[in-house]
Amino acid sequence: MKKISELSIEEIESFRDDYYNSDLTVKKVLEKHCIDCHPSSVAKELPFEVTEEFCHYCNIYLETKAKNRSDYRSGHCKGNPFICPKCDHKENIFRCNCDNCNDSLEKEKKFIFKTNQDFLNNVITFQKEKEFELESMTLKDKLIYLTFLKYLIDDDKKSFKPINKLSDIPFSSTQGYSFDLIGYILGDILRFDDKSYNIGLVIPREEQDDYKNYSYYPIKCKYVPNIDIYSEDWIIESINYCSKLDFQNESIDEVIDLWKEIASNELLEFLYHLLDKFNLDKNEEYVGDAIKESIRSITENFSVSQGYSILWYIIEKISAKKQETKMSRRYAVNMIPSYIASNLSKRISGEWQTKSYKRNYNLPQSAISLTYFNDILKIGEKGFTEKPSISILREYHIFEEEINKDVLIDEVKELYPEVGELFDLLETDFNPEMYEIVTSKDDDHNKALKVSALYSKTIDDFLIEYHKMKTGKKYQTIITEDEV
């Protein structure tokens, strides 16, 4: 009796053929060839088989362990790894851990790292060309930048932490809105931090030299202000500037529109919460533009607090309808816009009363919302409990500007020395014929002054109209007089 390792090449081939292809049992095959081996250990004892695959490191044929008889005959086995007898490299497996593969992987990682590092540096260089000044910022710019300053400034006082490092509260009410807000100021007011943290988070989409066409992870990236930091007090100076409304460059319409934008996204966040609660599908792919537009329509006449109660009522009704008719979740979600439209019409007409809900404990107010309503508008919870409206801004004296009466009169006298003629028009009823008479021989500026007078009944009214004409703004002007 021989061991399998003691067989000659010819004996091995003969035994192998009988082992895999004959009808004899494994025990009978072993007896036929006078081999001393347990039947279950044959595959382990057989020598490696040479394959037709090459080792691309050593350029020699790879070998593989012999299969057992049942795997060979079933054809279901994926097979053993192909192994290089020289360097131990393996093929036909998920990942090889040989020294050559590990070295190759390390080189590939270094190449990818260097490629991504170079690309990131080029993107940052491109972004630096668009450095901004505080005075050029819009209201929305100021809101986003102020939120970064208040909630995300890093320990070095020169950069911002990733927004996913915010604890306790979210950056904004929905992740999609956070992406939009960051994208809104990235490349102008913010740029990527040039530290190694961002390498691999900013990736070219197509051509390596197209530094405007990249994908990135908005909530994971670190950012820095796209400005030369020239003062130790730059943070305080920036916070103070961004916290104030600019009468000359921001209008009431901008303030209200931004309020509605934040409110709409808070209602969208609550909608996702309700879809989950009522076992409807909260997949964002199902919540398309039509649903988002109907959510925005709620903010035209109702507060977020009231919008909570409206959405709760609607989703509860849709959920009950789904259970009753066995409709699909997607079909149920698509019913939301029509339900909102019919619901709002009844509430706006006064047919239905609208309750107000408190803020949901599981949906804390976002950093963006806190910054806008507490730091910029300074109306606090009114941003949640009141609908976006000019009346609330007036109640809090927002966009009111006090102008001295004598100062305005002196300005008008410089422009129109015969100011008495203007004041005579204050008692004139406006009609088209009068308009042609009083403006026929004037240049555009004097014509505008006279039209302002025709529309006014008192000197104060006229001065307010004149001031609106001069500034181009629609905020409330309050005329004051010197104390005697």
The pLDDT value given to residue 437: 47
The pLDDT value given to residue 178: 96
Q: Which residues contact 168 (CB under 8 A, 6 or more apart)?
A: 364
Phi, psi values for residue 52, rounded to 5°: -95, 0
Yes or no: say if 146 and 373 are a contact pair by the CB < 8 Å rule: no
Percent of the chain exceeding pLDDT 70 equals 80
Q: Sign of dihedral through CA atoms 97, 99, 103, 106?
A: positive
What's the average model confidence in pLDDT over 391-414?
Answer: 71
Q: Reply yes or no on whether the pLDDT at 431 is more than 80.
A: no
The pLDDT value given to residue 195: 82
The pLDDT value given to residue 429: 58
Q: Reply yes or no on whether the pLDDT at 438 is more than 50.
A: no
Tokens 């104030």 — which residue? 244
Q: Reply yes or no on whether the pLDDT at 335 is more than 70.
A: yes
Quickly state the pLDDT bin for 29 (edges 50, 70, 90): confident
Max CA separation in the chain (angstroms):
133
Q: Are strands 400-404 and 476-480 parallel, antiparallel or unpaired?
A: parallel
Q: Chain-wide mean pLDDT for the chain?
A: 83
Token pair of 163, please? 């927004």
Q: Reply yes or no on whether the pLDDT at 80 is more than 90.
A: no
Q: Reply yes or no on whether the pLDDT at 282 is more than 80.
A: no
Q: Alpha-carbon distance 408 to 118, whole Å?
A: 59
Token pair of 18, please? 């009988």
Give the least confident one: 162-171, 194-203, 465-474. 465-474
The pLDDT value given to residue 76: 59
Helix ranges restricted to H, 186-303: 234-242, 252-277, 289-298
479 vs 413: which has the higher pLDDT: 413
Token pair of 164, please? 């996913």
Most confidently predicted of 180-184, 208-212, 233-237, 246-250: 180-184
Q: At what angle do helices 175-185 and 139-151 cross, to 10 degrees?
A: 110
Q: How many CB atoms within 10 Å of residue 408?
A: 20
What's the average model confidence in pLDDT over 479-484?
Answer: 49
Q: Reply yes or no on whether the pLDDT at 108 is more than 80.
A: yes
Token pair of 277, please? 């609660």
Token pair of 325, please? 């008719």
The pLDDT value given to residue 479: 46
What's the average model confidence in pLDDT over 307-323?
Answer: 94
Q: Alpha-carbon distance 238 to 158, whole Å?
A: 13
Q: Sign of dihedral through CA atoms 127, 133, 134, 135?
A: negative
Q: Alpha-carbon distance 459 to 158, whole Å?
A: 52
Q: How many CB atoms within 10 Å of residue 402?
A: 9
Which stretch of DSSP H or E encloses residue 403?
strand 400-404
Angle, CA 267 vertex, CA 263 and CA 273 arms, to 5°: 150
The pLDDT value given to residue 25: 86
Most confidently predicted of 173-182, 227-236, 419-428: 173-182
The pLDDT value given to residue 390: 83
Quickly state the pLDDT bin for 448 (edges 50, 70, 90): low
Q: Reply yes or no on whether the pLDDT at 465 is more than 80.
A: no
Q: Which residues contact 481 (CB under 8 A, 6 or more apart)?
A: 404, 405, 406
Taking CA atoms, 194 is separated from 144, 185, 204, in Å, by 21, 17, 16
What's the average model confidence in pLDDT over 436-444?
Answer: 53
Yes or no: say if 268 and 292 are a contact pair by the CB < 8 Å rule: yes
Which stretch of DSSP H or E encloses residue 383?
helix 382-385
Quickly state the pLDDT bin for 469 (edges 50, 70, 90): low
Q: Alpha-carbon distance 181 to 473, whole Å?
A: 26
Quickly state the pLDDT bin for 78 (edges 50, 70, 90): low
* CA torsion angle 319 325 329 332 (round to 10): -60
Give the least confident one: 8-12, 128-132, 321-325. 8-12
Q: Reply yes or no on whether the pLDDT at 253 is more than 80.
A: yes
Tell me the domain boundaries of the chain.
Answer: 4-91, 104-242, 252-392, 400-480
Percent of the chain exceeding pLDDT 90 equals 42
Give the bridge partners for 49, in sequence order. Answer: 64
Query: What is the reported pTM?
Result: 0.72
Q: Reply yes or no on whether the pLDDT at 453 is more than 80.
A: no
Q: What is the pLDDT of residues 341-390, one digit of tens each?
A: 999 999 998 899 999 999 999 999 999 999 999 999 999 999 999 999 88
251-283: buried (b, 16+ CB within 10 Å) or exposed (e) per residue? bbeebbebbbbbbbbbbbbbbbbbbeebebebe
Q: Reply yes or no on whether the pLDDT at 27 is more than 80.
A: yes
Q: Reply yes or no on whether the pLDDT at 439 is more than 90.
A: no
Token pair of 184, please? 């809104």
Token pair of 171, please? 């950056």
Yes or no: say if 332 and 321 are a contact pair by the CB < 8 Å rule: yes
Q: Reply yes or no on whether the pLDDT at 161 is more than 70.
A: yes
The pLDDT value given to residue 484: 35
